[in-house]
Structures are given as C-alpha cells and as structure tokens.
Amino acid sequence: MSTPSLLLDNVTRVHGSGETAVRALDGVSLEVMPGELVAVMGPSGSGKSTLLNLAGGLDLATSGRVVIEGEDLSTLGAKGVAQLRRRRVGFVFQDYNLIPSLTAAENVSLPLELDGERPGKARRHARQTLDLMGLRELSDRFPDQMSGGQQQRVAIARALIGSRRLVLADEPTGALDSHTGEDVLRVLRERCDEGVAGLLVTHEARHAAWADRVVFLRDGVVVDSTGHASRAEDLLDTAGARR
Amino acid sequence: MSVKQGLMALLAQAPMYGAQLRSEFEERTGGTWPLNVGQVYTTLARLERDGLVEPVGEPDAEGRISYRLTDAGKAEVGTWWSTPVDRDNTPRDELTIKLALAVTVPGVDVQAVAQTQRTATLRQLHDLTRLKQDVLRKQRAAESGAAPSEAPAANEGDEAGRDGNHDLAWLLVLENLIFTAEAEVRWLDHVETRLHRESLRPFRRSSAGETAAEATARVEAEETAYRLEDEGQPQTGRAGARR
C-alpha cells in the first residue's frame, strides 16, 4: 500500500474561543491516494475552504494531524511547511491568479525559480509541462491574450510543475462556462489518471462527478462519502437503459 | 416521447424494416429507451393504418418488409421537429412525493432522507460522467488518428462519419442524464437550505413528540429571542446556528 499523498487524521479547526468559538472543522478524517481525485462538496460555511487551507498548510489545525506525502505538518515548523508547500503542493484558484506581466511559460516556471532553479532551466521545464498538457501554443501568450479556460489550464500546469504531485483546487471552474469548465476538469482528471493526487472543492455536482469520490461536509463534519462507483452497466439498467 | 415519432424520424432518412428500425433507434439513443421488436411492428401497423407509412415493394428473401414515409408521414415528421415537447404530463416523481411527505409526517429525519438521495444521485452522476469520458476519449483518439495524409477511402470515411454521429447521439443522451441528475442534486441542496431556514423561523411546525404546551412554550421563547435580537441584544444561544 503506497503512502497517501494527503492524510487528514481527526482534524479539528476552531476559530475564536469561549462562547463565540466556531468549530469550522470537527474531527475530519480524509485520505487522498496518488492517482485519486477527491471532490469536497457542502453548503456555504460547511468548512470546505478551511479543509483546503489546512490540507495545503495555509492554516494550522487546532488538533489532529495533516500529513502530506508522509510528512506531518505539525512537526515541520513554519519554514519547513513553506518549503513543503512550495515543492509538493500546487494550488488552483477560481480566479486563476496568473501574473499579468508574465507569459504562460514564465508563470508556470515561477514556482521553480522561487525555489532557486535557474531561470533558463525552469522555463525549459515549464514549456515541457505545457507541451505535455497539450498547451504548447499558449506558452508565449500573456494572460490577457488567453480565455478563462486557457488561463485555468495554465494555472493547473503551474500547480503541477516540478515534483509537485498534490493539487488543491478551490472552485477551479467557478468562473467558466459549462464546456470550458469541462476542459479544465478533463486536464485535472488526466493528471490524476497519471498519478497526481487531487482535492477539488466545488459546489457543482456535475463537476464533482469527475472525481473518484465525493466527500460531503456539513457544519464542519463529514456527513457522507460516496465511495467508489458502482458498475456503469448496473447504473444504466436502473436508468431503464441497456447498452 | 412516443416511439411513433422516433421511428418516423428514422424512416425519413431511408426505408427500413422492423428489426432495422429497432437497432437504429437503440444505437442512436445509446440504448436508453430499449424497444422490443413486437412494439416496433405494432407501431408500424398503426402508422400504415393511419396512412403515414407504406410498404416498399415485396418482402425480401427472409420475408422482411421495408417501410417508407408517405407524404402525410413526411409532413408529420416536419411538424414534430418544429413543435416543442409537451411536458405538461409530468409523471409523478417519487422523490418529490417522498420529501413532501417527509416534512409532514412526524418523526422523519428529512435531512437524512435528502442526504441519502444526494449520495445515490452523486454516484449516478459519477458513473454517467465516466461513460461520458469514455466517449470523449474515443472522439479525441479518432481526431488524432485522422492525419490529413491518411485520407480514408470513401466507404471508410462514411463508416467513420456514421460512428461519429452515433457517438454524438450517445453523448447527448448521456449529457441529458447528467444534467437531470445535477438538477436533482441542486434541488436537494435547495431543500436543505429551505429546511435550515424554516428551522430558524419562530412559527415552525411542532417537532415530533412535542406536546401542544411544549410547542407553545418553545414558540414563545423563540419569539422573545427574535424580539431581543431586533432590539440589539443578541442571544448567545443562537450564535452557533447562524454562522
């Protein structure tokens, strides 16, 4: 059994104290294996963003363990967490967060350059990553020369440059139309099929359906998880279909 | 949709015999609406009686008779394409009835009913999305395999075009099922929010097992809480419920 890319073990996050304390997450356990895409759904205020922030080391758990590729974040210290975040975790946000004055290739190479890689080598690597994802023609374009869907696919390339094998996506299709959103999910799905682990926060069931399973949060607690799929043939039988 | 219009739409393309009509219908709709051959022949007999189709020539060696549209049949197909589908005869929906009853029958955990359904529908959505991914993958493979220098022979091209159209038909059927399932999940989200809001209202229905006196006392206490809050004296006891 391989090491989980992400493990949350009985994680609780409390904001504030005393009577005004709010338990944003309450005893959540979750595992994402390499090659697995897990979607997190739940109503507003259910703790989805808190979960993602904890998973990416942007916030600290009040209790419980957050472990990324075998490393317990609580044992690393601020510097260690920052380094781990830079090298192992990629973030994808709803509004892409590309730097407007840099080309796609420069945006994608940025995490490597920040981590001390020489610019030339980092750019070459960025172009390779863009090629691999079928985005070669975008390499020299600036963000304002790309559509929203193209920017988001570049953002996924940036999230996965170098040795990063865990991608945390917060409503990555939120600003995109149905077809473009689907292209972005397809790219994410393909990365996961090739061994990347993904955690996808979304409020759209149609998008969550691209994941291997869906975890449902309510009031900071996991109330349900869909587990793995039934056979498609059974599904079509129940839908009155036969193929 | 009636089988009648479906079969007539197929006959508008070319004359066909019963078994041919059945397999074409199922192939183009992804087998979502399976037909039995008896149903096809009964429908053809009615269409012939009504002057909408007519047999073409003599039966073939295996005794099969092909049918084609009459002019009246062609006009009827034209009308079908240009007329919106009548959804007034909505079939009774068990889920709607179940939830309507759940909120009125004491002792039923409505949220649990909604969550159980949501889990099942998300699974269904996941499986449908997997089937859709298979079709998309097949389409992409066909696109990348069709290099310009390898122009297929005329017959091969026809065959590929036919397969492509059938894949497109199957994709549209799948996407219809996906959007329907998604709509159900969205409605369940809405139900949950509605239930939450109702639970905050002072004049909500009595909880299960509550006596009339207890219900009156509860409503009075809640009214007082609301009044005090309106006057700028928040009640700490309700803070948790409002986050």
Q: Which residues of chain A does B185 touch, with a Cβ-Cβ cutoff of 8 Å?
A: 205
pLDDT number for residue A61: 94
A211/B126 CB distance under 8 A = yes
- Residue B43, both tokens: 């429908």
pLDDT number for residue B126: 92
pLDDT number for residue A180: 83
Least confident of A98-102, B8-12, B174-178, B208-212: B208-212
Query: In the predicted model, is pLDDT for residue B91 greater than 60?
Result: no
Query: In the predicted model, is pLDDT for residue A103 greater than 60?
Result: yes
Query: In the predicted model, is pLDDT for residue A88 greater than 50?
Result: yes
Of residues B202 and A40, the one with the higher pLDDT is A40
Of residues A215 and B209, the one with the higher pLDDT is A215
Q: What value, to the nearest 5°, has the Cα angle with vertex B135 and ends B134 and B139?
A: 120
Q: Which residues of chain B does A203 touch, with a Cβ-Cβ cutoff of 8 Å?
A: 189
Query: In the predicted model, is pLDDT for residue B146 greater than 50?
Result: yes
User: What does the pLDDT average to over B196-213?
Assistant: 62
pLDDT number for residue B178: 94
Query: In the predicted model, is pLDDT for residue A233 greater than 50?
Result: no
- As a whole number of angstroms, the distance between CA B39 and CA B29 comes to 17
**Nearest residue on chain A to B28, judged by CA atoms?**
A243
What is the full DSSP assignment across B142-178? Answer: HHHH--GGGPPPHHHHHHHHHHHHHHHHHHHHHHHHH
B128/A210 CB distance under 8 A = no
Query: In the predicted model, is pLDDT for residue B217 greater than 60?
Result: yes
Q: Which residues of chain A does B236 touch, with a Cβ-Cβ cutoff of 8 Å?
A: 19-20
In angstroms, how far is CA A82 from the centroid of its own chain? 17
Query: In the predicted model, is pLDDT for residue B147 greater than 70?
Result: no
A205/B115 CB distance under 8 A = no
Of residues A17 and B219, the one with the higher pLDDT is A17
pLDDT number for residue B239: 39
User: What does the pLDDT average to over B14-41?
Assistant: 85
Portion of chain B with pLDDT greater than 90, in percent: 26
- Contact status, residue B179 vs residue B121, Cβ threshold 8 Å: no
Superfamily name and number for A6-97+165-238: P-loop containing nucleotide triphosphate hydrolases (3.40.50.300)
User: What does the pLDDT average to over B154-160?
Assistant: 62
- As a whole number of angstroms, the distance between CA A142 and CA A224 comes to 42
DSSP conformation class of A239: T
Query: In the predicted model, is pLDDT for residue A243 greater than 70?
Result: no
- As a whole number of angstroms, the distance between CA A231 and CA B128 comes to 10
> Tens of pLDDT along B165-193?
778 888 999 999 999 999 999 998 888 88
Respond yes or no on whether ipTM tops 0.95: no
- Contact status, residue B102 vs residue B110, Cβ threshold 8 Å: yes
Portion of chain B with pLDDT greater than 70, in percent: 71
pLDDT number for residue A227: 67
pLDDT averaged over every residue in chain B: 78
pLDDT number for residue B57: 87
- Residue B232, both tokens: 């700028």
User: What does the pLDDT average to over A115-137?
Assistant: 89
Query: In the predicted model, is pLDDT for residue B242 greater than 50?
Result: no
Q: With bands split at pLDDT 50, 70 and 90, how would you rate the model's confidence at B34?
A: confident
Q: With bands split at pLDDT 50, 70 and 90, how would you rate the model's confidence at A179?
A: confident
Portion of chain A with pLDDT greater than 90, in percent: 57
Quick one: which of B31, B9, B34 has its CA closest to B174?
Answer: B31
Of residues A226, A229, A239, nearest to B177 (C-beta): A239
User: What does the pLDDT average to over B227-238?
Assistant: 49
- Contact status, residue A112 vs residue A162, Cβ threshold 8 Å: yes
Interface probe, candidates B36, B115, B118, B127, chain A, greatest A C-beta count within 10 A: B127
Minimal CA separation from A123 to chain B, in Å: 28
- As a whole number of angstroms, the distance between CA A55 and CA A171 comes to 15
A224/B118 CB distance under 8 A = yes
- As a whole number of angstroms, the distance between CA A219 and CA A44 comes to 9
Residue type at A62 in one-letter notation = T
Query: In the predicted model, is pLDDT for residue A183 greater than 90?
Result: no
Q: Which residues of chain B does A223 touch, with a Cβ-Cβ cutoff of 8 Å?
A: 115
pLDDT number for residue A33: 95
Of residues B34, B127, B133, nearest to A242 (C-beta): B34
Cβ-based neighbours of A172, under 8 Å, separated by 6 or more: A92, A93, A94, A152, A155, A156, A184, A185, A188, A200, A202
Query: In the predicted model, is pLDDT for residue A241 greater than 60?
Result: no
Quick one: which of B148, B119, B228, B230 has its CA closest to A215?
Answer: B119
pLDDT averaged over every residue in chain A: 88
Query: In the predicted model, is pLDDT for residue B194 greater than 70?
Result: yes
**Nearest residue on chain A to B170, judged by CA atoms?**
A243
Class of domain B3-82: mainly alpha
User: What does the pLDDT average to over B203-207?
Assistant: 51
Instruction: State residue A150 phi and psi, 5-degree precision.
Output: -65, -40
A239/B124 CB distance under 8 A = yes
